[in-house]
Amino acid sequence: MQTRTLSSRKDIVLVAHDNKKNELIEWAFYNRSTLSKHKLYATGTTGIMLEKALDQPVTKFLSGPLGGDQQVGAQIAEGKLDVMIFFLDPMEAQPHDPDIKALLRVAAIWNIPVACNRATADFILTSPLLNEEYLAILTDYSFYTNRKLKM
């Protein structure tokens, strides 16, 4: 069984679609005390807005449509991000929807907690596991790789 240890200080990435940026900033400001105990990452404009609102450094990736979603996905696959808070806009078509689906898929593969709305983000942030070391169990997907090699 493969596992990955998440330290008590989590690497949290915050992402929001344009129509959800203000909601994410408001949520992050309300939770700034909890978030200050962790290392924060964000895509593009969201990162600039968060840094200003929280008065805390935020490591910034490119804007989502310009490759930021893929950068976040790569960091998840490399084990460098522990939690993703992604305020999705379910009512607006996104031109980079395939990138978003790929990002969510990578997060599922690497078994990291993902919140796509405020309620789930609240549950994650108030979980005692957020501030503790956590052993994440990773699914063994080698069957898929081995199957393709045999074809």
Q: How far is CA 19 from the centre of its chain?
A: 18
Task: Concatenate the DSSP letters of all residues of 88-141 into one string.
Answer: --TTS--TTHHHHHHHHHHHHHTT--EE-SHHHHHHHHH-GGGGS-EEEEEP--
Domain assignments of the chain as residue spans, ordered by start: 2-150
Query: What is the architecture, at CATH level 2, of domain 2-150?
Result: 3-Layer(aba) Sandwich (3.40)
pLDDT at 112: 97
pLDDT at 151: 56
Please give the chain's pLDDT, 151 residues, in tens: 899 999 999 999 999 999 999 999 999 999 999 999 999 999 999 999 999 999 999 999 999 888 999 999 999 999 999 999 999 988 877 766 788 899 999 999 999 999 999 999 999 999 999 999 999 999 998 887 766 556 5
Residue 12: enclosing H or E segment and its boundaries? strand 11-16
pLDDT at 64: 84
Say what the pTM is. Answer: 0.92
Active centre residues (catalytic): 69
